[in-house]
Structure 1
Amino acid sequence: MRSQKLYTSFGILIIFIAIFFLKQNFLGEKYQDEHHYLPTAVFFSKEPIPSLDLLKSYGELNTPVPFILGGWVVSVFGENIQCLRLLTFAVSFALLMIFVWGSPDHSKRFFLCLAGLMIFPNYYLCSVYYYTDIFAMIGVLAGVVAYIRKAHGWGMLFFIGAVASRQYMLAFPAAIVAYECLELLKKGFSVKQFFTGLLTDKTWLPYALAVLSIVPWVLLWKGPAPAAVMTMQYYDSDKLIQYNFGYVIYSSACLAVYYIIPEVLITRNLRYFIDFPKNHPRLFIGYIILIGALITLFPAKQAYNPYFTWPYLGYVDQLFMTIGITGFFKQIVFGLLMLITMMRFFSPYFNLTSCVVLINILLLGKAQLSWDKYSLPMIMVLWFLAMFDNHWLFTASNRKQDKLFYH
């Protein structure tokens, strides 16, 4: 397996070199968010170790690690978007190396899972432009690898770095905390035994601290991001108290399109979904009622405003609109995709991946706007965990129809 990983790494390197030349050495005009990300990196280049005043006043919604690193690059190579793109590209390559070398030594799903990550449309876009997503994702993936290998101190540090790159990355250490607590509850402990178990096995503690690493940023800004840029991007205090269930619907639909449907096509394990209503009738009826209420009362639609003028929720929404799936019929399709997601991850065999999905999609209900790429870190982790055994996907079941996918 080591030789397979080595050859895979070499193959990825060849692909990256080819992309570098196909993208004209990363020269060219700035692309979308690069128009304001480059000035922010220049802003950070003035202070290699940023002061509190700088951290309070920089004009982005994201936590600052990608801009701090970008500032270091600018201070060495000058105000050059090519160098910042090369920084992002290098981090993307390092992320794939973690994916490859952090995988189990023997997995029949290795290439399928690696391809599942790389073919996600936004993975390429976030790798060839100076975007912040890859910086957060590498911290998340490294944190997951550390958790699996029981290097929990490192896991905490990696997740803290991820949260310091994108606030909503706190969903991943939170999922680990939830999973560790769930494992104790499955043992049928009393309340006293449960808390005794938490004090005895403190695996959850480093990850709880990683979640709490968001607190200093919130205290610094007196909110989830610098106030001035929140106002500029129409994410003001009135919207902070709102929760957008439409974004929950859309993120669930994206998960079905980009992960579950490809998984089913590869494994041909459609029987699990066909048998779900029979095996779990109460859950199934409950999901139908919940989703029906959501798509009726809180339809998924984009936060179209003077700052964000793209009317679609994302690529999936754009595709549906292009082929004529519109109006309430589109909401029904979103609802069916959400149902697929709920059946796949929320059964009596609730486990780590269930925690990852649940916390991510609930947290995305508080996003500024909806976008396919916000589901990319979650899907990356799901493809990575899919290379491991039942413990990471479905708790072992005696039900033949609920066997782990890929087996």
Structure 2
Amino acid sequence: MARNKKLYTSIALLAVFIVVFFLKERFTVALYQDEHHYLPTAVLFSKEPIPSLNLLQTYNELNTPVPFILGGWVLDIFGKDIQNLRLLTAFTSFALLMLFVWYSPRNTGRFWLCLGGLLIFPNYYLVSVYYYTDIFAMIFTLGGVIAYLRKRHWVAFVSLVAAICCRQYMLAFPAAILAYEVFKNVKWNAGPAILIKSVFFDTTWVWYALAVLAIVPWVVIWHGPAPASVMADQHYDSDKLVQYNFGYLMYASVVVAVYYIVPETLVTRRFTHYLEYPRRHPLMFIGFLAVVAAIVMFFPAKQAHNPYFTWPYLGYVDELLMKIGISGLPKQVIFGILMLVTLVRFVSPRFNLATWVYLLNVLLLGKAQLSWDKYSLPMIMVLWFLAMYDEHWLPSATRPENEPAPLNMKY
């Protein structure tokens, strides 16, 4: 029965993609925003199917080059037309959804919630019909998470390295798995020798430590986190690199609350966790209140504004609040409340994989050059996928191969 459900879902999604293809005039509409510079970059890579070191050092984009290498191959084979790049993007998006559908647990009761939760994120549509680099990073990230859950660690390593080679900040995902694998076995109350031995009790984490290190060659090639010329063009200069934007961290938590926690809670009607949390974990709750209050008062969320980037909003959620007349301190208080809700949802004395995915993603997004809902989309995707599994399941524990986790979904 579960197989039929997945088959019918796949056919329905294929029909949607076909309809969108024709609604978007067979992907021949005018260039959209970042496509104005992504297309020339892909054309540049089409001239060097195996890119030279000089090209890797000088191409005029902030993110790592695999999407442009793939785009260059497509342009070299089918012609230098944006339609071909959009078709590549759409095929990748459809393949991602097929991974999400076919590798979901057989008996999950959250299938429709989780699939729907991914699809209602407004940027998912945008990165699926235009030649944007996000969808390539997302499919490799999801592939890596699936391989990890199925204990195919070398496949997960390759996939997550590929994700980092599409977008630098995808390193948050192998880092999350690394942290989860290390800390789940650590015996903090033991002596130093036993503590170290507990870390090496299961060396699965080594694969993900190596995956995180995939960022190092790019930093060496560029002498920084991205090519220096484009960083200067986008006013992401060396002075800003030493700053950390706690307001962006708060807004990333807001995005998780709006696009994940709110629909999850409304559908599952599990409100008791939030009501009982202050009583169960009073010290943690007071700590959260202090952190959130400090960010609201001293580090309010404000969008970057420079000659390159002039859009006034932090993202869609911020734009909605501003357009209904909520701004200034009241808006920051709403952001703070939503961040508090997100912390309560994910952070408890027992960290699970979803906790690490949330924490490391939002901490990394505090170093972004600007705020944007879209930057949280890969995190939302992985959280929805993990939500179909029992969140207390330890994926490295002994379990028959391909056996889905129990679905009691305890908090």
The worse-fitting range, judged by mean Cα deviation, of 200-209 and 145-154 is 200-209
**Displacement of 1:4 after TM fit?**
1.5
The 5 A counterparts of 1:7-406 are 7-185=8-186, 188-392=189-393
Alignment deviations for residues 251-272 of structure 1 (CA, whole Å, 9 cap, x no partner):
0011100100111100111111
What TM-score do the two structures reach when normalised by structure 1?
0.95
Matches of 2:38 and 2:84 in 1, distance apart? 13
Matches of 1:275 and 1:199 in 2, distance apart? 36
Matches of 2:198 and 2:275 in 1, distance apart? 38
Matches of 1:296 and 1:376 in 2, distance apart? 27
Alpha-carbon contact 1:267-1:405 (below 8 Å) kept: no
Matches of 1:369 and 1:203 in 2, distance apart? 34
**Displacement of 1:275 after TM fit?**
1.5
Alpha-carbon contact 1:346-1:354 (below 8 Å) kept: yes
Alpha-carbon contact 2:153-2:204 (below 8 Å) kept: yes
Alpha-carbon contact 1:353-1:392 (below 8 Å) kept: no
Matches of 1:213 and 1:331 in 2, distance apart? 37
The worse-fitting range, judged by mean Cα deviation, of 4-13 and 62-71 is 4-13
What TM-score do the two structures reach when normalised by structure 2?
0.94
Amino acid in the other structure paired with 2:45: F
The worse-fitting range, judged by mean Cα deviation, of 7-16 and 241-250 is 7-16
- Which residue in the other structure is 1:396 paired with? none
Amino acid in the other structure paired with 1:238: D
**Displacement of 1:186 after TM fit?**
5.7
Query: What secondary structure sits across from 1:185 in the alignment?
Result: coil
Matches of 1:186 and 1:263 in 2, distance apart? 33
Alpha-carbon contact 2:186-2:199 (below 8 Å) kept: no
**Displacement of 1:392 after TM fit?**
4.7
**Displacement of 1:216 after TM fit?**
0.2
**Displacement of 1:196 after TM fit?**
2.0
Matches of 2:190 and 2:39 in 1, distance apart? 53
Matches of 1:144 and 1:190 in 2, distance apart? 33
- Identity score, percent: 63
Query: What secondary structure sits across from 1:334 in the alignment?
Result: helix
Matches of 1:174 and 1:192 in 2, distance apart? 25
The worse-fitting range, judged by mean Cα deviation, of 331-340 and 193-202 is 193-202
Matches of 2:125 and 2:379 in 1, distance apart? 16
Matches of 1:35 and 1:180 in 2, distance apart? 42
Q: State the aligned residue count.
A: 398
**Displacement of 1:141 after TM fit?**
0.2
Matches of 1:391 and 1:272 in 2, distance apart? 15
Alpha-carbon contact 2:185-2:201 (below 8 Å) kept: no
Matches of 2:365 and 2:97 in 1, distance apart? 25
Matches of 1:282 and 1:296 in 2, distance apart? 21
The worse-fitting range, judged by mean Cα deviation, of 103-112 and 35-44 is 103-112
Q: CA separation of 1:186/1:13 partners in 2, compared to 1, >3 Å: closer, same or farther?
A: farther
**Displacement of 1:406 after TM fit?**
8.2
Q: What RMSD in Å do the two structures reach over aligned CA positions? A: 1.5
Matches of 1:52 and 1:71 in 2, distance apart? 16
Amino acid in the other structure paired with 2:285: F
Alpha-carbon contact 2:391-2:409 (below 8 Å) kept: no
The worse-fitting range, judged by mean Cα deviation, of 347-356 and 124-133 is 347-356
Alignment deviations for residues 173-202 of structure 1 (CA, whole Å, 9 cap, x no partner):
000010011111268544322322333421
Amino acid in the other structure paired with 2:257: A
- Which residue in the other structure is 2:401 paired with? none
Structure 1 unaligned regions, length at least 5:
394-402
Q: CA separation of 1:126/1:406 partners in 2, compared to 1, >3 Å: closer, same or farther?
A: farther
**Displacement of 1:349 after TM fit?**
2.6
Matches of 2:170 and 2:18 in 1, distance apart? 29
**Displacement of 1:164 after TM fit?**
0.1
Structure 2 unaligned regions, length at least 5:
395-406
Query: What secondary structure sits across from 2:240 in the alignment?
Result: helix
Matches of 1:253 and 1:186 in 2, distance apart? 34
Matches of 1:190 and 1:304 in 2, distance apart? 51
The worse-fitting range, judged by mean Cα deviation, of 165-174 and 11-20 is 11-20
**Displacement of 1:47 after TM fit?**
0.3
Query: What secondary structure sits across from 1:350 in the alignment?
Result: coil
Alignment deviations for residues 18-38 of structure 1 (CA, whole Å, 9 cap, x no partner):
111111111110000000000
Alpha-carbon contact 2:186-2:198 (below 8 Å) kept: no
Alpha-carbon contact 1:117-1:379 (below 8 Å) kept: yes
> Higher helix proportion, which one?
1
**Displacement of 1:9 after TM fit?**
1.1
Alignment deviations for residues 127-186 of structure 1 (CA, whole Å, 9 cap, x no partner):
000000000000100000000000000000000000000000000000001001111126
